[in-house]
Structure formats: structure tokens, C-alpha cells
Amino acid sequence: MAKQDYRIGMIGYGFMGRAHSNAYVQANNFFDLKYRPVLKAICARDEAKAKAFADQWGYQSVETDWRKLVERKDIDAVDVCVPNNLHAEIALAAAANGKAILCEKPLAMNVAEGRKMVEAVEKAKVPNIVWYNYRRIPAVTLAKRLIEEGKLGKIFHYRAKFLQDWTIKSDLPQGGQGLWRLDLAAAGAGVSGDLLAHCIDTAIWLNGGLDTVSCMTETFVKERMHNLTGKVEKVGIDDACIFFGRFANGSLANFESTRYARGHKALYTFEINGENMSLGWDLHDLHRLQVFDYRDEGKIRGWKSVHVTDNSPDHPYMDKWWVPGLAVGYDCSFTHQVADFLDGLASGKPAGPTFRDALETQHVLDAILASAKDQKWVTVGKD
């Protein structure tokens, strides 16, 4: 079947700009898709750097103003890979111009902004997805299948952590290139919106929505030099965020995230305890799913470490890659997302998480920060 070009305009060429570009380049090499991404334009404010990026990754053109990019007639989809405070403005303009939107997480700075984005894409009827990529690590997708098959039975506990250690130094500035995550005005929140957003999206996907939450946050370094103003300014983000909660299915939630866990770079882990089975996953060992099945014969009952690399349909996505036993990595979660998104376009069954799905995570984020601020339990809002 002849492939149809799908023309991508990407805004931002940082960490995610690279991860997504790699995914667009890879997707059609491994997946049989009707649409083939074409790297039409990269947009960034520094023209020379954008040109260098375009040369490296194969983008056909460069823009320095995202407003021009979203108006271009030769672009089908806009990919939003910029700091969080720009997501809404770009998405609204892209939707108004009839573009599909692939937006980085968190969807928005808060629920109010996210709601406007949902309304805009639904009114314009444009395809939309948010890059909560961890759903598409094969071992995580396998966990979803096992839960859907009812293997766990009733679920009692869901606990997740996302730990890093890169902001411990008090002389690290906030704001600007590379450090916008420490600047409340650019990031909207600290580790909650940056790291826990991933944990919450995965949790909602695997275990359903959260009803109530109780949260505690801490900002360990209270003031930092601001790169954009040159002045020492108050730090407004949460450096650490811990919350408990109750899922709609009655199970208990236990989440923790920090950038002050010395020794941990990106330790995203979750464990789910069901009546019959428990599952565990660890980003540092991402191709393995830990499984304990209470129904196993007593004398060999124990935790199994399932190497999710069989190239049979049993192991999600893996039949598209190498031979059994050979792992794929972090980058593939993005490739899988591109493949699923393009498949969704072809089939008319959109791949998630859509903007509407991601708004649910935004509700949890708003609820946990409100809980921490007011020191009380908060009911998670719904749309």
C-alpha cells in the first residue's frame, strides 16, 4: 500500500525534540503504517541552532516564530516540545489552524488551561495526543493487559515513585535554558507536574481514576538566582511531593517524587498489589515486569522477573523489533507512541492519552497541590 506523507512541524529542539524526532524517523522502519512522518519544519528562536538541528535530524525547513509554523499550509501536525507555560497558547493556535497536535506533558499549567485546550481540539475536531510515553514501554503495556484480563483480581494498593537528585546544590540557578523546570512561571509546578504527572497518568491508565488525595510538598532550597532577571528570587516549585489517595475502585494510592534523592537519576517505579497477583516495574530495568502469582504451585511460588522481549504477540510491540531476548529501550516508548498515533489516524480509533484523558491527570495535579497548600484532603475534580 502506498504510504501517505504526514507532515510534522516541531516546536522546540531540546531533550524531547530529539526523542520525538528519533521516533518519527524510526516508526515506519519497524511498523507497517499507512502514514509516513515527514520532518517538514523545526521551530526554535535561535535560527543557527535550529538549522544545525534540522541538518542533524533531516528537517526540511526552519522557523523561528511558532506562530508562523502553526499557520503553514504544508504542515499536518504540530508537535509541542517546549516548556509547560507555552503548551496552551501553541495548542490553541494550532487547533484554530486545523492542525493535529502532539503535545508534551503535562498537558497544561493547570486544569483551567487544560480545559481550554480540550475544548479547542474537540471543537476543531483535530487529532490530539499527549506524550505520556511510559504507557508504551512493553513491560508497562503488558501490566495493562494482565490487569484487563482480570489476573490481579481486586486491586488493593498502587504505589509509585519518581526519584531524581539533580537540584540538591543550593547555588544551582533557576530559569532559562535547561533550568526552566525550577522556575514556577515556566513549569507551573515542580516535581508534581514534571515527574508525578507520569506516575499519575500510568496509574489512571492501569487502575482507573483517583477520587480523593492528601498531599505534602516541600521546597528545600527557598531562593535561587534567576537566570532571566539576574536576581536571587523565591523558589515557587515543589522540590518534593508525597501524596496518598483513594482510587475510584477502592484501592489505596501512595505516590512520592523528589529531586533530592541522592543517587537516583530517574528512578520511576510502581507496584500494584491485587488479590491474586502483584506487579512491579522499574524504569532502570524497563524491559522487565516483576510478577508474583499467588495461584502458582506453592513450592515454586515466588516473584518472577519476566523479560518482556519475546517477539510473539504475547509481549506488546516486541514482534516489531529484533529476535527474542533482545531488549528495546526508553526511545522506543516514543516510537510506539508515533506508531499508535498514526495507526489511530488510519483506523479512526484515536490512540490515547488524548487531551481529554490528560485533563484527568491535570485534575489530580491541581488537587494534590491544593491539598498540600491547605493541609487537608481534597476531592479530585472531574470534567
Binding of ligand NAD by 13 (CB under 6 A): yes
Q: How far is the CB of 82 from ligand NAD (least distance, A)?
A: 4
The binder of ligand NAD chosen from 84, 309, 335, 337 (CB under 6 A): 84
Cβ–Cβ under 8 Å, residues 273 and 155: yes
Q: Give the C-alpha separation, 315 to 325, whole Å.
A: 11
The binder of ligand NAD chosen from 43, 102, 199, 358 (CB under 6 A): 43
The binder of ligand NAD chosen from 5, 32, 45, 153 (CB under 6 A): 45
Binding of ligand NAD by 105 (CB under 6 A): yes
Nearer to ligand NAD, 60 or 177 (CB): 177
Cβ–Cβ under 8 Å, residues 320 and 30: yes
379's grid cell: 476531592
Binding mask 54-73 for ligand NAD (x = CB under 6 A): ------------x-------
Which one of the spans 42-50, 281-289, 303-311, 338-346 is the region binding ligand NAD (CB under 6 A)? 42-50
HSE-CB of 296 using CA atoms within 13 angstroms: 12
The binder of ligand NAD chosen from 35, 62, 100, 104 (CB under 6 A): 104
Check whether the bond before 353 is cis (ω within 30° of 0): yes
Nearer to ligand NAD, 54 or 155 (CB): 54
Cα angle 268, 271, 273 (rounded to 5 degrees) comes to: 170
Q: Give the C-alpha separation, 160 to 275, whole Å.
A: 19
Binding of ligand NAD by 94 (CB under 6 A): no
Indicate the pairing of strand 288-293 with strand 252-258: unpaired
Sites for ligand NAD among residues 192-211 (CB under 6 A): 194
What is the size of the binding site for ligand NAD (CB under 6 A)?
A: 22
Q: How far is the CB of 114 from ligand NAD (least distance, A)?
A: 13
Binding of ligand NAD by 12 (CB under 6 A): yes
Nearer to ligand NAD, 131 or 255 (CB): 131
Q: How far is the CB of 78 from ligand NAD (least distance, A)?
A: 12
Sole residue written with cell 475544548: 119
Amino acid at 152: L
Binding of ligand NAD by 113 (CB under 6 A): no
Binding of ligand NAD by 131 (CB under 6 A): yes
Binding of ligand NAD by 166 (CB under 6 A): no
Which one of the spans 82-90, 236-244, 252-260, 320-328 is the region binding ligand NAD (CB under 6 A)? 82-90
Q: Which residue's CB comes closest to ligand NAD?
A: 14
Q: How far is the CB of 61 from ligand NAD (least distance, A)?
A: 15
What are the angstrom distances between the C-alpha of 81 and each of 76, 101, 105?
Answer: 16, 11, 9
Q: What is the DSSP letter of 222?
A: -
Q: Give the C-alpha separation, 173 to 180, whole Å.
A: 10
Q: Give the C-alpha separation, 114 to 121, whole Å.
A: 11
Which one of the spans 2-10, 39-47, 234-242, 344-352 is the region binding ligand NAD (CB under 6 A)? 39-47
Binding of ligand NAD by 164 (CB under 6 A): no
Q: Give the C-alpha separation, 366 to 358, whole Å.
A: 13
Q: What is the DSSP letter of 174?
A: B
Sites for ligand NAD among residues 132-151 (CB under 6 A): 133
Q: Give the C-alpha separation, 291 to 149, whole Å.
A: 14
Cβ neighbours for 314, distance < 8 A, ≥ 6 positions apart: none
Cβ–Cβ under 8 Å, residues 368 and 241: yes
Nearest residue to 208 (alpha-carbon basis) of 246, 257, 151, 152: 246
Q: Give the C-alpha separation, 8 to 341, whole Å.
A: 13
Helix axes 355-374, 197-207, angle to 10 degrees: 120
Binding of ligand NAD by 234 (CB under 6 A): no
Binding of ligand NAD by 42 (CB under 6 A): no
37's grid cell: 512522518
Nearer to ligand NAD, 43 or 117 (CB): 43
Q: How far is the CB of 319 from ligand NAD (least distance, A)?
A: 25
* Chain residues in the site for ligand NAD (CB under 6 A): 11-17, 43-45, 66, 81-84, 86, 104-105, 131, 133, 178, 194
